[in-house]
Structure 1
């Protein structure tokens, strides 16, 4: 498990930028290679990628074997996925569609063991990979694992201060594409538009006021630099298929005479 090799919580508490890659393709072999790129971690996209839980199990193991934390963007804000992913050795779950304080509380309940939550016991893969006894794992699990609520709708933005104050929540994560679509009533995607950035600044303020990590999906250098300037520190830097596209384009350009 990731926690046996690195301490994600302490790393994020340092305040320095944590830039991670993003995967959509279901391949443990590819995940092991992506984890060896110069990024701080790898996130598996179970919502918009093609990755199901059986795929994620092998991918999480490959990422952890490479010495990187495995992060998972779950399919939805459901009660099953956080515990499953943590059982498999993930360090962090990012849950979409958390629009209210009540929904954030349900997320924490699903992700944390008592007294903080009601996560079901059975993380055998995580325990074995970490080399921890069941008692050791239980004592440290709530600290070793982190859960983020996505802020990507107008409703979530209106409730962001209440969501951020949810006990046990570790971070907020903005989906700027969905948020900008929502803010513009479907007019378009503006990841660095004026209204999007104003909304994202509000998310950062709510996170900081409650000691949470502020995260967002960046995707390219320009957007990442803009978000770092707002105070975000936990950023998705690049998607694996886009990295391949950029690499191929660069090679083709270099070959042209």
Structure 2
């Protein structure tokens, strides 16, 4: 199902501030990570590592509204794209996240085309959707005036939907077909739990591999970007042979793993 209006895939808007979108459109490997710790300084440190996008985890992270706003501001000011993983698809949650100036939304556990369409509807201004306007903050995160932001937001903000359940996989072709959906992101841990009854997956289970392939095929069929979570750089290199983009672990795991490895050198 083709979109009847410009989207992130075919927009003619040029905005150098939108680093993740620009990297994806150039067909270069787009790198992200998750942050769950609420700190402006922490957000800045992560944003300065060379990533294209930083996913502010408001689903599972310890991040409230104040930290969400502050992290978006800090990340975007450094020329990196702040993406907010919201805690759910409710219209007020989507609007609140977008009003930070985020460059995209990641919405977890999308299971049907109807749910995907609702996310698009409440993420876009009229006439394509029902998003309301009333804040000066979103334009700041895009380096624009409010009128400029209003003209460009519908076609530059990334709508990223997570496929992470058996039902989501079953309906992934219809989900990917929804106009305004830009990117499918695989949540491998929840997907493994749903399909296998345990997590993490070993990675070679036939039902798990088949599900991954089905998600990638749906994205390719409908001209959408596709990505997934990986644990480290070497796995990212391998994954990018198939995916447009990856998120390399998250801050809490990265910090824990680094200290554990260093201390094990001292206390083997």
| TM-score normalized by the length of structure 2 | 0.87
Equivalent position to 2:91, from 67, 73, 79: 79
The 3-state SS of whatever aligns with 1:88 is: coil
- Residues paired across the two proteins, number: 253
Counterpart in the other structure of 2:252: 241
Unaligned runs of 5+ in 1: none
Counterpart in the other structure of 1:182: 194
Q: Could you tell which deviates more after superposition, 152-161 or 137-146?
A: 137-146
Counterpart in the other structure of 1:172: 184
Alignment deviations for residues 226-256 of structure 1 (CA, whole Å, 9 cap, x no partner):
4323x21221102112222233234335557
Cα gap change, 1:193/1:103 in structure 2, threshold over 3 Å: closer, same or farther?
Answer: same
Counterpart in the other structure of 2:224: 212
* Shift, 1:67, TM fit: 1.5
Counterpart in the other structure of 1:60: 72
Q: Could you tell which deviates more after superposition, 46-55 or 239-248?
A: 239-248
- Asked if 1:91 is matched to 2:103, the reply is yes
The 3-state SS of whatever aligns with 2:240 is: helix
Task: Please show how residues 81-230 of structure 1 align to structure 2 within 5 Å.
Answer: 81-184=93-196, 186-190=197-201, 192-194=203-205, 195-229=207-241
Task: Give me the whole-angstrom Cα distance separating, in 1, the residues matched to 2:150 and 2:200.
Answer: 43
* Preserved CA contact (<8 Å) 2:102 2:141: no
Task: Give me the whole-angstrom Cα distance separating, in 1, the residues matched to 2:20 and 2:151.
Answer: 17
Unaligned runs of 5+ in 2: 1-14
Question: 4+ residue runs of structure 1 moved beyond 4 angstroms?
Answer: 253-257
* Preserved CA contact (<8 Å) 1:87 1:123: yes
Task: Give me the whole-angstrom Cα distance separating, in 1, the residues matched to 2:45 and 2:146.
Answer: 31
* Preserved CA contact (<8 Å) 1:176 1:191: no
Alignment deviations for residues 20-46 of structure 1 (CA, whole Å, 9 cap, x no partner):
121111111211111111322211111
Cα gap change, 1:223/1:8 in structure 2, threshold over 3 Å: closer, same or farther?
Answer: closer
* Preserved CA contact (<8 Å) 1:192 1:223: no
Task: Give me the whole-angstrom Cα distance separating, in 1, the residues matched to 2:110 and 2:158.
Answer: 15
* Preserved CA contact (<8 Å) 1:164 1:172: yes
